[in-house]
Structure 1
Amino acid sequence: MLMRLMAFDYGTKRIGVAVTDSLQLIATALKTVHPVDVWTFLETYLQTEQVETFVVGKPLQMDGTASESAQHVTGFVRKLRKTYPQIPVVEVDERFTSKMASQAIAASGMKKHKRQDKQLVDQVSAVIILQTYMERKAF
């Protein structure tokens, strides 16, 4: 059975979510959810879609140590593993993803107010996290 990969750019205000197609070839932005709503969202999503792996962006400092927000991500990963023990959780270094997402959005030619949409930045960051994982997995 073909299954998707799902990535999260976790933040305390918003979580960007991205998924692959069932062949795991293309990563696309899915949505942005509030951390309180993420569990209801996942429950609903997983009723109709098969997810092989959860990929979570791991916030690191420039020297590779955990950043201040890492504790929130650790709690999220712990609850993902407890709630969905059948789905492996992989953490991927998310340094620069927000900056890369902002640059990608700017390069797309979108109007300034749309480029400053934090929900869009979170979604594109999740896509970048997912693409990073897919590239590593290919080797």
Structure 2
Amino acid sequence: MARILAFDYGLKRTGIAITDELQIIASGLTTVDTKKIFSFLTDYLKNENVELFVVGEPKQMNNTESESEQFIKPFILKLGQTFPKIPIKRVDERFTSKIAFQSMIDSGLKKKHRQNKALIDEVSATIILQSYLQQNEE
């Protein structure tokens, strides 16, 4: 089996998470400057077999698109054009940043580390990926 790669896309930074090859465990991989995301992915995919991209889908409480979706759609379009053999799935990402922040508190991270927005993005991507894995094991 190949890995699944998930994104918590942002205008400045994009958090990235990855599964193990058996697609059981989601782990944070890194946070990348969004301007450099495609060069990062090109290099990463030279060495790793990835069969699916999962991209967070921000929604409002009433289930409509959030404002940030207008920035994510061009990213998804380019992702599909750049890596046409890898399908893309979307996962509702409501509350992932809050859940990520709370999980950092629960894990005992000091306040200084919890203020690291890049780490929050990476943890958010991990939560998005874990949500996808849980939805698909049913």
TM-score higher than 0.5 here? yes
- Cα displacement (A) at 1:103: 0.2
Letter in 2 for 1:9: D
> 1:16 maps to what in 2?
15
> 1:32 maps to what in 2?
31
Partner SS for 2:7: strand
Partner SS for 1:24: coil
Distance in 1 (alpha carbons) for counterparts of 2:73 and 2:92: 13
Alignment coverage as a number of residue pairs: 138
Distance in 1 (alpha carbons) for counterparts of 2:57 and 2:2: 23
Partner SS for 1:43: helix
Distance in 2 (alpha carbons) for counterparts of 1:129 and 1:116: 20
The residue correspondences of 1:1-139 to structure 2 (distance < 5 A) are: 2-139=1-138
Structure 1 window deviating more from structure 2 (96-105 vs 78-87): it is: 78-87
Which structure 2 segments of 5+ residues have no match?
Answer: none
1:7-63 CA-to-partner distances (Å, cap 9, x unmatched) read 000000100000001111111000000111000100000000010100000111111
Distance in 1 (alpha carbons) for counterparts of 2:110 and 2:83: 39
1:112-135 CA-to-partner distances (Å, cap 9, x unmatched) read 000111011000000000000001
Partner SS for 1:78: helix
Distance in 1 (alpha carbons) for counterparts of 2:2 and 2:37: 20
- Cα displacement (A) at 1:6: 0.3
Distance in 2 (alpha carbons) for counterparts of 1:91 and 1:74: 11
Identity of aligned residues (%): 52
Distance in 1 (alpha carbons) for counterparts of 2:32 and 2:134: 26
Distance in 2 (alpha carbons) for counterparts of 1:96 and 1:39: 26
Partner SS for 2:51: strand
Runs of 4+ in 1 over 6 A off after TM superposition: none
